[in-house]
Amino acid sequence: MDPLHLAAAPVARPAPQSMASTSLADQVEQMFLEEMLKHCGPGALGGSFGGGAGEEQFSSFLTREHAALLARRLDLGLGNLEAKA
């Protein structure tokens, strides 16, 4: 095996979850969790460990992804409310 000519193995990537495949209740749960994380989630670090302007600009993307993961793993019961309505 020549280390200079290693072929990269294909990486299995999960299929992107489209907004059309998620129910309205899942979307509402994600938005709710995103707003909660904005106010009580981890904040920006200050001093020499802070991310500066980049951290300020991209922290909303990380918050949105955290909310999406939480919404997939948690059931806040909004689907039950949708079924009753």
Question: Mapping DSSP to helix (H, G, I), strand (E, B) and coil, where does residue 57 land?
Answer: helix
Give the pair of three-digit tokens for residue 42: 């981890």
Residues 6+ apart with CB under 8 A from 82: 23, 24, 25
16 lies in some domain: no
Residue pLDDT, tens place only, 11-43: 666 555 554 555 788 888 999 999 999 888 766
pLDDT at 40: 86
**Across 4-8, 57-61, 67-71, least confident range:** 4-8
Pairwise CA distance, residues 3 & 18, whole Å: 39
Total domains in the chain come to 1
18 lies in some domain: no
Range of the domain at 53: 23-39+49-85
1 lies in some domain: no
78 lies in some domain: yes
2 lies in some domain: no
- Whether the full predicted model's pTM is greater than 0.85, yes or no, is no
Mean pLDDT of the chain: 76
8 lies in some domain: no
Q: How far out from the chain centre does Cα 45 lie?
A: 20
